[in-house]
């Protein structure tokens, strides 16, 4: 994707399998939103080949549109509609929509069915956003920054909801800045840096690609000792032999997704 003389996306190569949950991570300006908008059919790419559910999103028809769902980060339309009223209205645009009362129950919104949308709490509003995204019974769901501004309880409830949807076989692509969220929800994580995919895979895969080292901590002569190693088992084995038994205050900290992500972002920054 090019804007004027600037290449925003440069050779993205990505496949998402049916039933998979993929998290797209990257710093601001990396190209996440542009990537998702191209896949949703809302932005025309400059070049390249894209297929979403077997079709080119540059020329979508109504049948294709009905097979995808979109959960925006914020959506301020129709604040004076009632929850069930707007869902029933939106369901009417799809050939095989979900049953609205059942959907409200599944999302824990049955008590808010008659509530005015603008009076919903933040957590209720986010669940309602998801209801709008899946009321058409999509095969593929795009979710943008799902828990921005959530308190811990609302975030946990939303994560539980996403896991239930994944259990139903729904394919999802979510963008997030919350690394713990990506680690919990996604089957696979894709890191986008400066318009290119820097790495993709599980957390363990990414740690291997980044060659992140494990931190081994122990006590010796009353002082804390620290060593970083690619193979922590070898370090622990050598310490075990050295102490001829248990290792005092042993701790082994494998690299987290945050460690790997920050290392990749730093490596991808212009020098």
Check pLDDT > 50 for residue 271. no
Q: Is 31 exposed, middle or buried (0-12, 13-18, 19+ CB in 10 A)?
A: buried
Is there a single domain that holds both residue 232 and residue 165? no
How far is the C-alpha of 261 from the C-alpha of 255, rounded, in Å?
10
Is there a single domain that holds both residue 95 and residue 227? no
Taking only the tens place, the pLDDT of each residue in 248-269 is 999 998 887 788 888 777 776 5
Is there a single domain that holds both residue 228 and residue 135? no
How far is the C-alpha of 171 from the C-alpha of 18, rounded, in Å?
6
Question: Could you give the number of structural domains in the chain?
Answer: 2
Average pLDDT over residues 94-109: 91
* Percent of the chain whose predicted confidence (pLDDT) is above 90: 51
Give the pLDDT confidence score for residue 197 in this predicted structure: 92
Q: Are strands 251-253 and 214-220 parallel, antiparallel or unpaired?
A: antiparallel
Residue 37: phi, psi to the nearest 5?
-65, -35
Centre a 10 Å sphere on the Cβ of residue 45 and count the other Cβ atoms it contains.
Answer: 19
Assigned domain for 267 exists = no
Check pLDDT > 70 for residue 153. yes
Is there a single domain that holds both residue 117 and residue 230? no
Higher confidence at residue 202 or residue 39?
39
- What does the mean pLDDT of the chain come to? 87
What confidence tier does 198 reach under pLDDT thresholds 50, 70, 90? Answer: confident
Nearest Cα to Cα of residue 190 among 26, 31, 35:
26
Q: Which of 202, 234, 266 is the C-terminal boundary of a domain?
A: 202
Assigned domain for 126 exists = yes
Assigned domain for 120 exists = yes
Taking only the tens place, the pLDDT of each residue in 161-197 is 788 888 888 899 999 888 888 888 899 999 998 899 9
Is there a single domain that holds both residue 123 and residue 184? yes
Is there a single domain that holds both residue 220 and residue 195? no
Give the pLDDT confidence score for residue 213 in this predicted structure: 81
Is there a single domain that holds both residue 169 and residue 194? yes
Is there a single domain that holds both residue 165 and residue 33? yes
CATH of the domain at 111: 3.40.50.300
Assigned domain for 269 exists = no
Give the pLDDT confidence score for residue 166 in this predicted structure: 84
Q: Are 12 and 173 in contact (CB under 8 A)?
A: no
What confidence tier does 72 reach under pLDDT thresholds 50, 70, 90? Answer: confident
Check pLDDT > 80 for residue 154. no
- Which DSSP letter does residue 250 get? -
Positive or negative: CA dihedral 34, 37, 39, 43: negative
Higher confidence at residue 149 or residue 192?
192
How far is the C-alpha of 136 from the C-alpha of 125, rounded, in Å?
18
Is there a single domain that holds both residue 126 and residue 171? yes
Structure-block tokens of residue 267: 């490596």
Is there a single domain that holds both residue 238 and residue 165? no
Higher confidence at residue 254 or residue 54?
54
Give the pLDDT confidence score for residue 266 in this predicted structure: 76
Is there a single domain that holds both residue 23 and residue 130? yes
Q: Are 47 and 41 in contact (CB under 8 A)?
A: no
What confidence tier does 76 reach under pLDDT thresholds 50, 70, 90? Answer: low
Residues with Cβ < 8 Å from 188, sequence gap 6 or more?
A: 20, 21, 22, 23, 200, 201, 202
Which residue range(s) make up the domain with 221?
A: 214-254
- Which DSSP letter does residue 95 get? S
Give the pLDDT confidence score for residue 268 in this predicted structure: 65
Assigned domain for 260 exists = no
Is there a single domain that holds both residue 80 and residue 156? yes
Higher confidence at residue 154 or residue 186?
186
Assigned domain for 223 exists = yes
Structure-block tokens of residue 128: 């309602």
What confidence tier does 224 reach under pLDDT thresholds 50, 70, 90? Answer: very high
Distances (CA, A) of 210 to 92, 191, 256, 257, 264: 48, 11, 12, 11, 7
Assigned domain for 151 exists = yes
Assigned domain for 270 exists = no
């Amino acid at each position: 994707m090019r804007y004027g003389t600037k290449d925003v996306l440069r050779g993205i190569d990505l496949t998402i399998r049916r039933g998979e949950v993929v998290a797209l991570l990257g710093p601001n300006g990396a190209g996440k939103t542009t990537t998702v908008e191209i896949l949703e059919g809302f932005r025309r790419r400059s070049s390249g080949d894209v297929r979403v559910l077997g079709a080119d999103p540059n020329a979508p028809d109504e049948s294709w549109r009905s097979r995808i769902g979109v959960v925006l980060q914020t959506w301020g339309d129709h604040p004076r509609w009632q929850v069930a009223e707007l869902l029933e209205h939106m369901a009417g645009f799809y050939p095989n929509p979900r049953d609205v009362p059942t959907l409200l129950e599944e999302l824990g919104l049955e008590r808010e069915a008659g509530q005015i949308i603008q009076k919903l709490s933040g957590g209720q509003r986010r669940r309602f956003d998801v209801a709008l995204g899946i009321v058409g019974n999509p095969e593929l769901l795009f979710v943008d920054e799902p828990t921005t501004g959530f308190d811990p309880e609302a975030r946990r409830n939303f994560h539980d909801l996403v896991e239930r949807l994944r259990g139903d076989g729904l394919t999802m692509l979510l963008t997030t800045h919350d690394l713990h969220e990506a680690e919990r929800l996604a089957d696979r994580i894709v890191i986008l840096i400066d318009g290119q995919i820097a790495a993709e895979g599980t957390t363990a895969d990414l740690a291997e690609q980044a060659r992140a080292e494990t931190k081994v901590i122990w006590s010796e002569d009353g002082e804390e000792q620290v060593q970083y190693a690619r193979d922590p088992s070898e370090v622990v084995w050598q310490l075990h032999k050295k102490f001829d038994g248990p290792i005092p205050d042993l701790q082994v900290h494998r690299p987290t997704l945050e460690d790997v992500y920050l290392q990749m972002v730093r490596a991808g920054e212009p020098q």
